[in-house]
Structure 1
Amino acid sequence: MPRSLLAVLALLAALPVAAGQLTLSRVEITEWKAVYGQVETRDRVPARARIGGTLVELRVTEGDRVEAGQEIALVEDDKLSFRLRAIDAQLRALDTQLETATTDLDRGAALRERGVITQQRLDQLRTRVAELEGQIESTRAERRVVEQQVAEGAVLSPDTGVVLSVPISLGSVITPGETVAEIGGGGVFLRLAIPERHATTLTEGDEITLGAGSGMDGQTGRLAKVYPQIEGGRVVADVEVDGLDGRFVGRRVPVRLPVGTRAALLVPPDAVLRAGGLDFVAVAGEGGAVRRAVVPGGIVRHDGAEWREILSGLSAGDTVVTGDE
């Protein structure tokens, strides 16, 4: 060993040390995995056209807030207007025929009382009136069907939320079932894609922590759901975070995820002294406190306080002396 290093060690061993003592024991600390989560809406539902035709009104754009049942667009089909006019003309003709048939029936009833026509002829007149009334009612029902088709030209929002995308433009010709807008609702959460080697360590209900740069550094959330299917070597999980900003769906947020535990030796951060390029910790011995060279790790949180992990140089049962005399 170089003489300069021996001199440093001898000097440190002779320095005054502390009155506070801490007996070391191995404690379980959480292993954290840094990943990115993506802000997603809980529900993502398309608002679809119920009839085919031309989009004549489009009342929303990306980012607009909508309520469930709100009309967001209007589709018109000219063929339905033509059918309505044709049905109205048919109804007018049937009404005229019914008026004539009713007049004939009244006249026939009067003639039957005088014995001019037979009962059979009177029954035929009654049947004709009933047939026309049935045709009118059937035609009116057909008109109500077409009216309902016209009313279904209004495209309604399926949920309360925000408009995520509008893939069509005003004047577009669309088919029944085509998506007019995509609505995100039900609140927001974080969706994580985690390497499959950590799949067995994930448990619903685990606490996660948002990392630096998220705008909510240190805030915690809850692992709400772990999906059973692994795709592309990654496990998908959803995390609920109170107060999560949902203005930008798809935004990536840094997250620290617990993926296991390990045993570690922890000392207060101020118990580690650095001198001559080496790190030392004061340990109580038979002849008093001595400085022992150690290899420290990083700062970890345990029981709500910050500690320095010691990778080597100390053992469980050692008594660490802290603070100055």
Structure 2
Amino acid sequence: MRYLVFLLVALATLPLRAAELTLTPTEIQEWKAVYGEIETRDRVPARARLGGTIVALDVTEGDRVAAGQILARVQDEKLSFRLRAVDAQIESLNTQIETARTDLSRGESLRERGVVTVQRLDQLRTQVDILEGRIESTRAERRVIEQQVAEGDVLAPETGVVLSVPVSRGSVVTPGEVLADIGGGGAYVRLAVPERHATTLTEGGRIAFGPGSGLEAHEGRLAKVYPRIEGGRVLADIEVPGLEARFVGRRVPVRLPVGMRPALLVPQTALTRTGGLDFVTVTSPDGPVRRTVVPGQEIARDGTVWREILTGLRAGDTVVLP
């Protein structure tokens, strides 16, 4: 009995064997720190359809507009003169046709009594038809001028925000001149990535944002990679849910995945710090040995924080875990 008690006490005083981890290279995502700019998906100019003077300008930079909303009004004084001239022609033709219809009615009455010939009556009818045609042609000309006047209203091409207004009230513009730039279709982040990373960009990939961007809590998606390389850089667009185009052109830091690389990872709890140095305990033929290491970035996996070891360990080492 005494022997059994002695054995139990001896076993209780033996140190428990610590957990161990054999290091093997692990593929981790490599990130490239770049800057992106917030842009609107569409940037459409609102152009003048009529040449003339801007008599009304109802928007300024930053205003929200709806598709079809009147942004400005261009007026051409010559169209007003043409309208008055056409109205005068129509009034004169109306007077002439009233006289012609009266003559035709009188001629029909005289024809019944045999006073007027059929030829003269046909001439009267022809004169009425000619005047009616001239009136309809003049009215059509007036409708064309009215449409030109209506085209003086500059309309918003789509719903969005006014990015720039390069003109002012009283300016003289020509047909096709830009009166305002409208940004619409939502906002996205545009990147200009060095061309050496072009082959690593995959549409649909997840994008993270760096500290100070204000978008750390958001995750973007690489929506489009443009095929043209300009100035040694590739353009790419990132979709970010809920991104607002309040400040178009604002630069934000972006962490861009550019490939995978092997790394040695140990749990954060395996590191100890003494005298400003970091140590990891590994096994050796002579027992546990503390090695000085240089840790790298933190990586969260399955709810555990791991640290990359840059120097001090190699693949195959067995790390003693607490």
With normalisation by structure 1, the TM-score equals: 0.90
**Unmatched tracts of structure 1, length 5 or more:** 1-15
Q: Secondary structure at the match of 1:123?
A: helix
Query: Does the CA contact (< 8 Å) of 2:100 and 2:124 recur in 1?
Result: yes
How far apart are 1:218 and its partner, in Å? Answer: 4.7
Would you say 1:79 and 2:60 are equivalent positions? no
Q: Which residue of 2 aligns with 1:219?
A: 218
How far apart are 1:185 and its partner, in Å? Answer: 0.7
Q: Secondary structure at the match of 1:130?
A: helix
Query: Does the CA contact (< 8 Å) of 2:186 and 2:244 recur in 1?
Result: no
**Unmatched tracts of structure 2, length 5 or more:** 1-14
Instruction: Spell out, residue by residue over 1:138-174, the C-alpha distance to the aligned partner (whole angstroms, 9 max, x if none).
Output: 1001101101111111111111111100000000010
Query: Does the CA contact (< 8 Å) of 1:17 and 1:321 recur in 2?
Result: no
Q: Secondary structure at the match of 1:31?
A: strand
Q: Distance in 2 between matches of 1:191 and 1:295?
A: 36
Q: Which residue of 2 aligns with 1:8?
A: none
Instruction: Spell out, residue by residue over 1:38-92, the C-alpha distance to the aligned partner (whole angstroms, 9 max, x if none).
Output: 0000111111111011100000000111100001111111111001100000000
Q: Distance in 2 between matches of 1:148 and 1:105?
A: 36
Q: Residues 100 and 67 of structure 1: is their aligned pair in 2 closer, same or farther, counting only changes over 3 Å?
A: same
Would you say 1:135 and 2:121 are equivalent positions? no
Q: Residues 300 and 309 of structure 1: is their aligned pair in 2 closer, same or farther, counting only changes over 3 Å?
A: same
Would you say 1:27 and 2:37 are equivalent positions? no
Q: Secondary structure at the match of 2:187?
A: strand
The percentage of counterpart residues that share the same residue type is 70
Letter in 1 for 2:185: G
Q: Residues 304 and 96 of structure 1: is their aligned pair in 2 closer, same or farther, counting only changes over 3 Å?
A: farther
Q: Distance in 2 between matches of 1:155 and 1:121?
A: 54
Matches within 5 A, 1:1-325: 19-275=18-274, 278-303=277-302, 305-323=304-322
How far apart are 1:110 and its partner, in Å? Answer: 1.2
Query: Does the CA contact (< 8 Å) of 1:39 and 1:189 recur in 2?
Result: yes
How far apart are 1:304 and its partner, in Å? Answer: 5.4
Q: Residues 158 and 248 of structure 1: is their aligned pair in 2 closer, same or farther, counting only changes over 3 Å?
A: same
Q: Residues 152 and 18 of structure 1: is their aligned pair in 2 closer, same or farther, counting only changes over 3 Å?
A: farther
How far apart are 1:245 and its partner, in Å? Answer: 3.3
Q: Distance in 2 between matches of 1:75 and 1:304?
A: 64
How far apart are 1:302 and its partner, in Å? Answer: 4.1
Q: Distance in 2 between matches of 1:295 and 1:216?
A: 31
Instruction: Spell out, residue by residue over 1:115-143, the C-alpha distance to the aligned partner (whole angstroms, 9 max, x if none).
Output: 11211111111000000000000100110
With normalisation by structure 2, the TM-score equals: 0.91
Query: Does the CA contact (< 8 Å) of 1:17 and 1:322 recur in 2?
Result: no
Q: Secondary structure at the match of 1:204?
A: coil
Instruction: Spell out, residue by residue over 1:207-263, the C-alpha distance to the aligned partner (whole angstroms, 9 max, x if none).
Output: 110111111225310000000000011100000011223210110001000001101
Q: Distance in 2 between matches of 1:105 and 1:112?
A: 10
Q: Distance in 1 between matches of 2:73 and 2:17?
A: 80
Q: Distance in 1 between matches of 2:44 and 2:281?
A: 63
Greater CA drift, 20-29 or 145-154: 20-29
Greater CA drift, 224-233 or 310-319: 310-319
Q: Distance in 2 between matches of 1:305 and 1:52?
A: 68
Q: Secondary structure at the match of 2:46?
A: strand
Q: Distance in 2 between matches of 1:82 and 1:305?
A: 81
CA RMSD of aligned residues (A): 1.8
Q: Which residue of 1 aligns with 2:6?
A: none
Query: Number of paired residues?
Result: 308
Q: Secondary structure at the match of 2:108?
A: helix
Q: Distance in 2 between matches of 1:145 and 1:169?
A: 28
Letter in 2 for 1:36: Y
